[in-house]
Structure 1
Amino acid sequence: MSTAIRALVIAGVMAGFCPSLVQAQETGVPASGFYAGAGVSANLVVPTNQTIFSQGVSNVFQGSTLAAYGAAGGPTNPRPPTAATISPSAQLGYFQRLNESRWLLGGKLTYNYIAATATDHYVAVPQIGSFTQVPGGPITAFTGNVVVRSYQITADHQIALVPYVGYTFDRSYVYFGAGPSLTHTDVKLSHVVGYADINGAVGTNITGAPATYSSEQWLIGATFAVGATYFLTPSWFVDFGYAFTITDLWNPTYSSPFSNDPMAAGVTYQTSGVLSGSYTGGLNTHALTVSINRRF
């Protein structure tokens, strides 16, 4: 029997006893590989669970004499709009097909420069409080607002590590996975002023010059991803993916002293004290990504 005929017989026997092996050989998806890619993402950034709390504690002086003291505070829930951007993205990954199967396992490390900013303008934080005249005067209730000219949330860098499971077809595979993420945020409260409706005067500036507070931090979160690939050649493929990320909450505090100018305020007394509070919130992000990738 010639060598060619002997090879055909062996191939027929293997097809009869190992059909899944032949099936796995027929797919155009390589058996394994490391890969790197770059692409573009369409992003939606949705602020969630937003709360601002502000409070002021103050002393009122006539000259150098303490005339009264008081405090007020309260929360509000700002509603920054959804922000949309187009951004560059990149990924590094590895996949491995399971023996005699169309299933595969893999994982990828993704980076997305979201560069999205959501801003809520003129946020009023309602204040309820009271003041007491010195010495031994009555306690008088009053209301007011701490006005934030802009409450600004910026999400820029986002990194995710996503293990995934996939299923191969002729020249492609689909996949789904989930993993941890890190999202860098910068949150800013700009031009913050405390006003009081007190002694018949509406909108009296208590805190004087506007203040600005900001904080930046990396938020831990979770990313859920689905996608599909198409192999142009054994070394090059296109990846179409969608990722949904939920972040943890930021919760920084702020505090600064204040002192108003009695001449500018048109009064004969001076108010000094501390304006403080906190701001809390998180983000949901959606990203549709198309990338070109090279398998190594």
Structure 2
Amino acid sequence: MKHIGLAVSAFGLSSLISLANAGDMGAEPLNKTGLFLGVGGGYNQIEIKTKTLGVLNAQDGFPPLGLYTGESNYSKTKEAFAPEAKIGYFSHFANSNLLWGLEFLYQYSGVKIKTTRDKLGSGAAIQLADPTQNVTDFLSMNPVKTRVHTEFMLPVFLGYSLANSFLYAGVGPAVFQLKRTVGRINDESSGLFIGNAAGFSNSEWIWGGAARAGIAYYLNPSWFLNLNYSYSFTGNTHLNNRKLFTPAINTGLNSGSIAFNTRQRLNAQTISLSINKVFSL
């Protein structure tokens, strides 16, 4: 799907550039500016990198007791079709082919990235160690899931107007809505048995940044097609969860807590095509 999406996008971009160059040869300008509304969609690729630190505080029960720590890392990429809608404004500078504008873009991703227990060492398990006791334990998390629901972008752009098209590039803030879920936590295979603990889930909005570049081709003075590429990202986000546990069977620890500190960052790339209506102001 990745190669097909890139091939289709490359063909669309080359076609629009050819139309733009053809339209620049003696054609009357079609470029109407003002408020615009657009709908479309495209190929969306999301990469998520996660680092999870686990801390087991063994407080009572079968020894050895104490603090056990460990970490797990994983990185995964997934692609999907992402519909989008946008509203914006653009205008030419006085007596110039240069233009400026801004757009508010909504994109629904719905991408789900999941790491399951059968991929140990890739985000679904943490090996915990207590160096003072020279013992280790092994926690499994089944499964680890991150879902990217929506993304909003607000880029400000500069462009250059041709006879019936324009090129542009811009940057601005972005915000993502994420839901992160860890399934049931268990420790059923080691000698230091802590039993099972319920999973947890968190939803939040995460700020980041975005860059966009593209080309627009006018079908008539009020309608234009827009092909663009965007790259958006977040910084490291932190998520803390703490769970108390009581063993299911009395052969290990009697009480204690498990804490998780998760650091996560996201990168998204999109190639999309939209149709837009311009309204003069």
User: TM over 0.5: same fold?
Assistant: yes
Q: Which residue of 1 aligns with 2:260?
A: 277
1:217 CA displacement: 1.0
Structure 1 residues 245 and 177: CA distance shift in structure 2, 3 A: same
| Percent of aligned positions that are identical | 21
Structure 1 residues 101 and 140: CA distance shift in structure 2, 3 A: closer
Root-mean-square deviation (CA, aligned residues, Å) is: 2.2
Larger Cα-atom Rg: 1
The letter of the residue matching 1:72 is Y
Any idea what the Cα deviations from partners look like across 1:116-168, whole Å, max 9, x if unmatched? 011122222121116xxxxxxxx742112221222211111100001101111
1:57 paired with 2:38, answer: no
1:186 CA displacement: 0.9
TM-score, normalised to structure 2, is: 0.82
Contact 2:64 2:133 in 1 (8 A): no
Structure 1 residues 270 and 279: CA distance shift in structure 2, 3 A: closer
TM-score, normalised to structure 1, is: 0.78
**CA distance, structure 2, for counterparts of residue 140 and residue 205 of structure 1:** 12
Matches within 5 A, 1:1-296: 26-30=28-32, 32-48=33-49, 50-61=50-61, 69-79=65-75, 81-122=76-117, 123-129=124-130, 140-194=133-187, 203-204=190-191, 206-262=193-249, 267=251, 271-296=254-279
Q: Which residue of 1 aligns with 2:10?
A: none
Structure 1 segments, 4+ long, off by >4 Å, are none
**CA distance, structure 2, for counterparts of residue 73 and residue 61 of structure 1:** 18
Structure 1 residues 60 and 223: CA distance shift in structure 2, 3 A: same
For structure 2, the 5+ residue unaligned runs are 1-24, 118-123
**CA distance, structure 1, for counterparts of residue 125 and residue 202 of structure 2:** 20
Structure 1 residues 88 and 205: CA distance shift in structure 2, 3 A: farther
**CA distance, structure 1, for counterparts of residue 115 and residue 253 of structure 2:** 32
1:248 CA displacement: 2.4
**CA distance, structure 2, for counterparts of residue 220 and residue 140 of structure 1:** 42
The letter of the residue matching 1:208 is G
**CA distance, structure 1, for counterparts of residue 160 and residue 240 of structure 2:** 48
**CA distance, structure 2, for counterparts of residue 193 and residue 78 of structure 1:** 20
